[in-house]
Amino acid sequence: MKFYAEYAIINVSIETILSFFEATPHKGCEYTMQNHQQPSLKNINRLKYMLVIGFAAIVIVAILSISTLAFRTTDKAMKNKVSSLVSSLNVQLQLNMDSYLSRMETIGTLAFAVEDTYKYDATDPDNDEFEALNTEKAIQDKLLSLCIMENFVDYGIVYRNNHTVGKISNGTKNLFGETIFEDLEAMIVRPRTQDGWAAGYHDDFKRIYYVKRIHDNAVMVISFYTAELEKVFDNPETMHDMTIRLTDQNYNILYSSDEEDEPGEQLPEPLTRRITGHSSATVLDDEYLVTVNTCSDDWYVVCSVPTSIILEESTQIRKLIYAAAGIAAILAALMGMFLSLRLTKPVERFVSSLDTKAHTDQLTGILNKLSFEEYTAHLLEHEIHTVPHALILLDIDDFKSVNDTLGHAYGDKVLAQVGSLLRATFSTEDYLGRIGGDEFAVLLISQPAEGQSYEDYVHEKCRALCQSFHHNYTGDKGDYKISASIGCALFPNHGDTFQTLYKSADQALYKSKKGGKDTYSIYNSEEASQDA
């Protein structure tokens, strides 16, 4: 946090001061004698003193005015820069949490590799005792082998008669007691996948439980201590003053980077008041900077930092500038000129740093148009022609009607969701970019699995992308279907530069739109010749 704060404050302060001097012309002072008589030496000295005092007063007022303007501009720019940084970090932490929970769910499903796991019912009165023992031993061995993959407190199966197989800790058994099966079953809140996450059972917020139904008489349970989330919410050293918390829907703290917070405590009221009713928001005022994002299980990732800490370095610099103003009042214009010369070199350095362009489209989180074109053109220019790639262009169908019918806020949500769809459909190797208002592009860099042709791989990706749109609806009631037209061209067959490849993909996109939209087309040179 300190690095970013110092950089933003110094940079904006210098820019503000210099811009003021550049915009304000220097006005000379003239003294015109009202009569043509030679003034006395006393009057000349008096005039000299008046000029010195007057100029010093002008310098003091000017410096104080400029400093005040610089402080206000600095504080505003500082808040905006840190707000953007914390907001981006919060989104990344939310993604980390979703990924972690998803990985835990995947580990849970590995238990089903043993056929007996989902077929065996310990509550069946017809079970043969010997066969039941052997079956439970096989299940037990599988569960214990999976349990060592993570630092689980529990990893086992609980049957309706409260019989357990696997690792079910004594702490869990004592906590749930005779209603262990019923209470765990009640944690299954997702009907489609028949599973769910829960925390705070009997006010015990030190453990998080994942429960998945095996059959009507058995559930799989995984639990771990919330302290394990420390590796998920890794706080960068530059943001060490920021507090990261994970809360449930009632703002009970499940995890906190602040050691003074206890699991189960309520999120501090000043933070709760600022984020209540928001699933994703950034709130900045004179007291706090707070950002919140919702995880897939309706838990909140909350990042907060007092505004006073954000402006701490600004306060220190403010004292230094006021001290410099006092010195400048004594030394007047000479000291001001000296300081201006001394500021020249650092200004060039900071302005040069600020000239670095932004690579990411802020709405969708993928590459912006300029960066996508630069990266793609550079890769294709240096790529050998024996390695195939594909350029996929995507245009949202009738996007104007989305804005006209549902409003621009919904339009922004649709665009952001398209960015998420692209990330979900394509590999992290591929380039994803937003190249227009509702136009997107993908450079397919990833390669197919062994035995699959590249053309089949491209068709598979295009079909997957089309299919992902078929499940996307928006509107207040989720009744407005979103679709896309897609065009694709292959490198180097349809173009060996970005410009030629883009032109081919654009023709394929036009074919999709002309053919009724909500589909994809691969560039065909013969069809393109006939159309021409």
Each residue's pLDDT tens digit, 161-199: 999 998 898 989 999 999 999 999 999 999 998 999 999
From CA 251, how far away is CA 227, in angstroms rounded? 18
In order of 53, 83, 249, 361, the CA distances from 356 in angstroms are 45, 19, 40, 15
| pLDDT for position 325 | 67
Q: Which residues of the chain fall short of a pLDDT of 70?
A: 1-56, 59, 67, 70-71, 114, 148-149, 237-238, 313-318, 325, 328-329, 331-358, 473-479, 528-532
Phi, psi of 174 (to 5 degrees): -70, -35
CA 464 to chain centroid? 25
| pLDDT for position 39 | 43
| pLDDT for position 5 | 44
| pLDDT for position 163 | 92
CATH numbers and ranges of domains, the chain? 2-30+39-86+314-354 (no CATH), 90-99+230-310 (3.30.450.20), 114-228 (3.30.450), 369-527 (3.30.70.270)
| pLDDT for position 104 | 86
| pLDDT for position 32 | 33
What one-character-per-residue DSSP string does 408-433 give?
HHHHHHHHHHHHHHHHHHS-TTSEEE
| pLDDT for position 314 | 66
Question: What number of other Cβ atoms are within 10 A of residue 520's Cβ?
Answer: 24
Beta-sheet pairing, 480-481 with 473-474: antiparallel
CA distance from start to end of the chain: 58
| pLDDT for position 298 | 84
- Provide the β-strand partners of residue 432: 442
| pLDDT for position 106 | 86
In order of 236, 244, 292, the CA distances from 229 in angstroms are 15, 11, 17
| pLDDT for position 386 | 80
| pLDDT for position 344 | 44
From CA 386, how far away is CA 168, in angstroms rounded? 55
